[in-house]
Amino acid sequence: MATDKVDKGMRVRRVEGGVREEMASLLNGDLKDPRAAGAIVTRVEMTPDLRGARVHVRLLQGGDDPARRREVVAALGRASGMLRRELTQRLGLRYAPDLKFQYDDGIDHMTNVERVLAEIAAERKPPEQ
Condensed to tens digits (0 to 9), the pLDDT of residues 20-51 reads 999 999 988 888 888 888 899 999 999 999 99
The pLDDT score that the predictor gives to residue 124 is: 75
At a CB cut-off of 8 Å and minimum separation 6, what does 72 contact?
35, 36, 38, 39, 57, 59, 103
What is the distance between the alpha carbons of residues 101 and 55, in angstroms, rounded to a whole number? 5
- Hey, how many other C-beta atoms are within 10 angstroms of the C-beta on 50? 18
What average pLDDT does range 111-118 have in this prediction? 69
Give whichever of 10-14, 103-107, 117-121 has the largest mean pLDDT. 10-14
% of the chain surpassing 90 pLDDT: 50
CATH superfamily of domain region 2-104: K homology (KH) domain (3.30.300.20)
Residue-level pLDDT at 105: 81
What would the pLDDT profile of 43-85 be if each residue is shown by its tens digit?
Answer: 999 999 999 999 999 988 877 788 999 999 999 999 999 999 9
C-alpha angle 21/68/44, rounded to 5°?
25
